[in-house]
Amino acid sequence: MDSSEQEKVDGDIGVEKKKDKTANGYGGDGGEPKGTASSADQDSGDFYDVEIEKSNGEKEEKPPQESKEESTSISSKTEEFNDKEITINSPKIYCNARNHYLPAIKSQAHLPKPDPPATPRVERSQSLSIAETMPSIGKYISDRSSSFSAAIVRRLSSWKEDNGDLVVKNDSLNLEVTEFHIPGVKVIVKLKSEAERLGLDLKGRISFFTRSNCRDCTAVRHFFREKGLIYVEINIDVFPKREKELIERTGSSQVPQIFFNEKWYGGLTALNELRNSGEMEVKLREMVGERCPEGAPPIPVHGVDDEEEEDDVLLETVRSLRKTLPIQDRLIKMKMVKNCFSGVDLVEGIMDHLDRGRKKSVITAKLMVQKHFFHHVFGENEFEEGNHFYRFLEHEPFIMGCFNYRSSTNDSEPKPASFLADRLSKLMFAILEAYASDDRLHVNYSGIDRSEEFRRYLNVARDLQRVNMKLLSPNERLALFLNLHNAMAIHAVISIGHPEGVLDKRAFFNEFLYLVGGYPYSLNIILNGTLRRNRTSPYSFFRPFSKGDRRLELAPPKLNPLIHFGLCNGTRSSPAVRFFTADGVESELRCAAKEYFQRGAIQFNMEKRTVYLTRIIKWYNEDFGTEKDILKWVMKYLDSTQSGLLAHLLADDGHINIMYQDYDWSGNL
């Protein structure tokens, strides 16, 4: 071939290559996105890119012909383990990937192509697996990787028997996966449940009765979770009507009480005997054959409310007034007030409906105000007959922003405030036990959103609309506002998401509202208005409550700085989410503070004489006093090591630098 013919052939090849390049994402307008292999690529490529990721984070290119040798060399490393915490990352294979590694060489279009070998046609209703669609070299490496993983698992099993120091990590939110750490190798193994290990197909049912915030119930729950056994938990704090059934079956209301099918076995002590004696396998085998009989404790019914609502005794009168009163917009004190009515019209309306005298009608109107059916438009008084104007609760301008409001106010007879406070705490305890990690630092919000416990909590939140908060004792009120803040934070994450930017934080802390006792409450109002006794929030110049705001009457007698360590706002740097009881709220707050500081909220640099504190203390420094007072106050909640370091710095009266840690606003997922 002379030079002119050679140039012509080269030119044709160049044109064909350009077409291929355009058609496969390298350029042009009609090609597929870059990095996407077309169906033609899967047949014509002769070489494939293989990327192997080492345990130290480096990436090494390996041509296909070296993959077998590489797999062999990796397998040989199983004999060189020196420690018990190593990491293995399976090789990542990129077939026909258009990247900066080894480019795939395509056959030339003008040359004849060999016929592909005949392959049997596969017919199935679903798509082929990854291994079947992968080219031969990729399939080979995948098979070798699977064999290697199986060998590691077998070796780990033998090590676990011979060496009791093997490190095992259980993910509390995914109990089917266990992570083993050996030097240089990271193997994630899906463990078999107890029933799978014994080869049992359980058709029966394990059930047990529990209460919220019960240590023995928690121990039983953890036992069944660790064994991987499916169980039905009947929390009588969530399902109150089931307590009667518990008493009928066991003769007592004590919990936990465990049932294998319809047979009552006992509580935690009986379960420990069963475990220690090795009789658990016998009990499980008894549940293999027949399905669970009808005599077993039934599974709780979701979506059905146990508690019956009772209409308010004044409801008929209120409904009549809503229809007959002249409700209209009025200009009052140079302000346009919407949907209001006068006190005179209200008294006359009550007189006409109940056929009572004026004095009794005024008493009835005051009783309606106490039950929060309506309020004075400016909050100047509860009720006085005369030229004063009032507005029904459903016409308040803030009402549509309240997330515990459903198209109309709750007109049922208000339940006692102490009952609702207790009910709220028990439901939220049950939610944490089911959908939070053991240390309560991670929360499964999507699971909470779908749960029966959360649905029932929303009903309790709706009952708070017209509750009389003044009937609570100071400790009951403190526990309720702490619990309400943490429950609202969970609800806010589910409804509007974790706060990221400035606008998100404003919506999260200031605009997510609950209607409680006839007035709106946000996370900011609960913290800075009520619990902090109307102090300004960080980076703000205005107090939450104006003069005469009736919500300030519910504030604690004095400010307790420990509240900051009992409040969780759904972020990683906030304290762990928890709920409180009225009887033990003070001691529970002290435990919360100790736990938070031991988790890293204080750190030391002895050479530089520097103490690093949580930024929460900087934001609310007026609650803790001067810097020296802060260090002395903090010392009461440190462990012995931390307390010793801080005491050493304070002993010589030298200058101590106080710096504040960064705050992680990401979600506690």
- Angstrom CA distances, 202 to 38, 220, 660, stand at 47, 19, 55
Q: Are the C-beta atoms of 285 and 201 separated by less than 8 Å?
A: no
Structure confidence at residue 639 (pLDDT): 94
- Distance between CA 508 and CA 365 in Å, rounded? 36
pLDDT in tens, 232-243: 999 999 999 999
What is residue 56's three-state secondary structure?
Answer: coil
What stretch of H or E contains 319? Answer: helix 315-324
Q: Are the C-beta atoms of 292 and 205 separated by less than 8 Å?
A: yes
Confidence of residue 20 (pLDDT cuts 50, 70, 90): very low
Structure confidence at residue 308 (pLDDT): 79
What is residue 328's three-state secondary structure?
Answer: strand
pLDDT in tens, 323-378: 999 999 999 999 999 999 999 999 999 999 999 899 999 999 999 999 999 999 99
Find the mean pLDDT for residues 453-481: 96
Structure confidence at residue 200 (pLDDT): 59
- Distance between CA 172 and CA 226 in Å, rounded? 9
pLDDT in tens, 271-318: 999 989 988 888 888 777 668 888 999 999 988 887 778 889 999 999
Structure confidence at residue 147 (pLDDT): 67
pLDDT in tens, 154-191: 665 555 444 444 444 444 444 445 555 566 665 665 56
CA angle 73, 77, 83 (to 5 degrees): 160
What's the token pair of residue 64? Answer: 């296909």
Structure confidence at residue 183 (pLDDT): 63
Structure confidence at residue 283 (pLDDT): 82
Residue 510: alpha-carbon gap to chain centroid: 21
Q: Of 71-75, 149-153, 206-210, which one has max mean pLDDT?
A: 206-210
Q: Of 17-21, 154-158, 192-196, 248-252, which one has max mean pLDDT?
A: 248-252
Q: How many residues does the chain have?
A: 669
pTM: 0.72
Residue 266: alpha-carbon gap to chain centroid: 33
pLDDT in tens, 580-629: 999 999 999 999 999 999 999 999 999 999 999 999 999 999 999 888 78
Return the CATH architecture of domain 314-394: Orthogonal Bundle (1.10)
For the cut 90, the answer to whether the pLDDT of residue 641 exceeds it is yes
What is residue 326's three-state secondary structure?
Answer: coil
What is residue 129's three-state secondary structure?
Answer: coil
- Angstrom CA distances, 209 to 150, 230, 233, 581, stand at 40, 15, 6, 22
**Which residue's entry shows tokens 């307390």?**
643
Lowest-pLDDT range of 144-153, 401-410, 523-532: 144-153
pLDDT in tens, 136-151: 555 555 666 666 666 6
For the cut 50, the answer to whether the pLDDT of residue 92 exceeds it is no
Confidence of residue 418 (pLDDT cuts 50, 70, 90): very high
Q: Are the C-beta atoms of 477 and 424 separated by less than 8 Å?
A: no
Question: What residues have CB less than 8 Å from 433, skipping those under 6 apart?
Answer: 212, 213, 218, 221
For the cut 60, the answer to whether the pLDDT of residue 214 exceeds it is yes
How is the chain split into domains, by residue range?
A: 194-287, 314-394, 417-589, 596-660
**Quick one: which of 669, 591, 605 has its CA closest to 637?**
591
- Distance between CA 198 and CA 282 in Å, rounded? 11
Structure confidence at residue 113 (pLDDT): 54
Which CATH number applies to 194-287? 3.40.30.10
Confidence of residue 501 (pLDDT cuts 50, 70, 90): confident
Confidence of residue 87 (pLDDT cuts 50, 70, 90): very low
Mapped to the 3 state alphabet, what secondary structure does 163-188 carry?
CCCCEEEECCCCCCEEEEEECCEEEE
Q: Using CA of residue 513, residue 516, residue 519, residue 524, what is the dihedral sign? A: negative
Lowest-pLDDT range of 6-20, 83-97, 107-121: 83-97
Structure confidence at residue 27 (pLDDT): 41
- Residues of the chain with pLDDT > 70, as a percent, come to 70
Residue type at 159 in one-letter notation: W
DSSP string, 378-412: TSS-S--SSS-EEEEGGG-TTGGGBTT-BSB---B
Structure confidence at residue 618 (pLDDT): 94
Structure confidence at residue 179 (pLDDT): 56
Structure confidence at residue 138 (pLDDT): 56
